[in-house]
Amino acid sequence: MAGVSAVVPAYRDHLPRGTTGAAETIVVVGAGLAGLHAADLLRKAGREVVVLEARPIPGGRVQTVRLPFDDGLYAEAGPIRIKARHRTVLRLVREFGLKLVPFSPPAGSSLVTIHGVTARSDQPLEPARLRLDLKPEERGLSPRELLERYLRDLPPDLADPAPPGSYADWQAFDRVTWPEWLRSRGASAGAITLMTVGGDSKELSALYVLRQIALIRGAGELDFKISGGMDLLPRAMAAALGDIVRYHAAVVRIHQLPDAIKVDYVQNTRSESIVASRVILAIPFSTLRQIEIRPPFSGQKERAIENLPYFPATRFLIQSRTRFWRASGLSAYARTDRPAEIWDCTHDLPGPRGILGVTAGGAVGRAVLEMTPEESVAFGKGLVADAFPEIGGNFEQGVAHRWGLEPWSRGAFAVWYPGQGSSIMPHIATPEDRVHFAGEHTSSWMGWMEGALQSGERAAGEVMA
């Protein structure tokens, strides 16, 4: 620290008027879960922290949509589930006095729609009716049982959330896509359809999917959500931080000086600068690409920032005049082969109306990016109709949240394609001199709130060390 103090006056002479901060200040970029948690831990450790957030509100991808829905209904544009294994999320929910409710209604059958035919989970699966050609040994197995059959003999360390020492041992899984890997294990085309229905995994590395499955497997079936909306968690975290969070503050440039970092940002159209001893970049690589880094990071880091793919998911929230599914003993949970995942966002809320949530990604997610907002809502309604044709007479209004068009997210969450697990992953979280990296993409729990929080903890630990 003495070295930093000594150099500050020298470079300070060259800083523009209005530059704030001090050599001891730690700047956290991004007030999503990762940035908020890192800032909180540093503040509690007595460090001076400033958080710069481009949006007017905290939470990043944790966004609860309350308008334009009727009857006080609300639903999520981002995260919908908290897994029982997500200890950090659950601990913070408890600390802030928030209430958990089950993600799914206590009763009701789910649906699967394939080739235009819908099957119920409370009735035997008839592959022929769904036009699925299964091998004799695959017949009679549920999608979950099929998956267990083909997942046998996985390396146990895949289920360890600690970052792997090396990705080399897992390289064989990273050479192919998820469907290709299932095929290589002997799964028929029909079985692959059953195991992948509801989500677009066609382009994903088998290693990415296997790691996700291995981390979650055996964690218990019950998922939770926060009563009142998932955004209550980041809002409570930001409120506890007070005015150290600066909103409307978009970082545009980072200068790596010999003994400090200067961060240029635009706050409400005004250019500002702040000097820090350390910076935690708790923003997705998809938006970090827009920030000028002087001098550039290492080649490996630059390649990781440039090439890390983001899943182009769209969340459709479709308001229904009635909860018509209940009369048929359905939970409103469905997976379809467009592909899409559908669920009842409002099972815990009173009233006759309900909101059906739909997530679609991959090729469908990309196609929606080209549509007008009205066309995309109509498209989302069509996705619901695949499994629930009754939505036709019940539709009232809807919202399509296209994550690829969100300027401060530019995608839903990080994924990787064949080859990238080995080439990119080892370089995502490593610090670059005084710059540290946090966010779901830097964690083993990629694509989860737990990953964002754990990464904030890791980055704060690096800074304190």
Ligand X SMILES: Cc1cc2nc3c(=O)[nH]c(=O)nc-3n(C[C@H](O)[C@H](O)[C@H](O)COP(=O)(O)OP(=O)(O)OC[C@H]3O[C@@H](n4cnc5c(N)ncnc54)[C@H](O)[C@@H]3O)c2cc1C
Of 389, 383, 385, the residue nearest 339 (C-alpha): 383
Q: How far is the CB of 37 from ligand X (least distance, A)?
A: 8
Range in contact with ligand X (rule: CB under 6 A) among 51-59, 205-213, 319-327, 416-424 = 51-59
Q: How far is the CB of 13 from ligand X (least distance, A)?
A: 27
> Rule CB under 6 A: which of 8-37 touch ligand X?
29-35
> Rule CB under 6 A: which of 282-301 touch ligand X?
282-284, 287, 291
Q: How far is the CB of 367 from ligand X (least distance, A)?
A: 16
Contact status, residue 66 vs residue 74, Cβ threshold 8 Å: yes
- Rounded CA-CA distance 222/114 in Å is 26
Taking the least distance from each CB to ligand X, the nearer of 232 and 449 is: 449
Residue 414 phi, psi dihedral angles, 5° rounding: -75, 140
Member of 203, 231, 341, 440 binding ligand X (CB under 6 A):
440
Print the binding letters for residues 71-90 with ligand X: x by CB under 6 A, - otherwise.
-------xxxx---------
The residue type at 287 = T
Contact status, residue 264 vs residue 271, Cβ threshold 8 Å: yes
Residue 130 phi, psi dihedral angles, 5° rounding: -85, 5
Range in contact with ligand X (rule: CB under 6 A) among 54-62, 92-100, 121-129, 323-331 = 54-62
Taking the least distance from each CB to ligand X, the nearer of 192 and 412 is: 412
Buried b (16+ CB within 10 A) or exposed e, 357-392: bbbbbbebbeebeeeeeeebbebbbebbbbbbeebe
Residues 6+ apart with CB under 8 A from 424: 303, 304, 307, 308, 416
Q: How far is the CB of 120 from ligand X (least distance, A)?
A: 24
Taking the least distance from each CB to ligand X, the nearer of 134 and 230 is: 230
Taking the least distance from each CB to ligand X, the nearer of 379 and 413 is: 413
Of 11, 40, 53, the residue nearest 282 (C-alpha): 53
Member of 235, 315, 338, 436 binding ligand X (CB under 6 A):
315
Q: How far is the CB of 204 from ligand X (least distance, A)?
A: 15
Taking the least distance from each CB to ligand X, the nearer of 308 and 452 is: 452
Taking the least distance from each CB to ligand X, the nearer of 138 and 231 is: 231
- Rounded CA-CA distance 397/321 in Å is 9
Taking the least distance from each CB to ligand X, the nearer of 127 and 404 is: 404
Q: How far is the CB of 272 from ligand X (least distance, A)?
A: 12
Taking the least distance from each CB to ligand X, the nearer of 404 and 418 is: 404
> Rule CB under 6 A: which of 420-439 touch ligand X?
439
Contact status, residue 34 vs residue 459, Cβ threshold 8 Å: yes
Taking the least distance from each CB to ligand X, the nearer of 181 and 413 is: 413
> Rule CB under 6 A: which of 392-421 touch ligand X?
403, 408-409, 412-413
Taking the least distance from each CB to ligand X, the nearer of 7 and 371 is: 371
The residue count for binding ligand X (CB under 6 A) is 41
251 binds ligand X (CB under 6 A): yes
- Rounded CA-CA distance 235/53 in Å is 13
62 binds ligand X (CB under 6 A): yes
Name the E strands within 14-108.
20-21, 26-29, 49-52, 64-65, 75-76, 82-83, 100-102
Give the chain's largest Cα–Cα span. Answer: 78
Q: How far is the CB of 213 from ligand X (least distance, A)?
A: 15
Q: How far is the CB of 436 from ligand X (least distance, A)?
A: 13
321 binds ligand X (CB under 6 A): no
Q: Looking at residue 16, what DSSP letter applies?
A: P
The encoded tokens of residue 228 equal 């009142």
Collapsing DSSP to helix, strand or coil, 309 comes out as: coil
Member of 451, 454, 458, 460 binding ligand X (CB under 6 A):
451
Beta carbons within 10 angstroms of residue 307's beta carbon: 14
Q: How far is the CB of 183 from ligand X (least distance, A)?
A: 28
Buried b (16+ CB within 10 A) or exposed e, 41-73: bbbeeebebbbbbbbeebbbbbbbbeeebeeeb
380 binds ligand X (CB under 6 A): no
Cα Rg, the chain, nearest whole Å = 23
Kindly list the residues in this chain that would bind ligand X in the complex (CB under 6 A): 29-35, 52-55, 60-62, 78-81, 250-251, 282-284, 287, 291, 313, 315, 359, 403, 408-409, 412-413, 439-440, 447-452
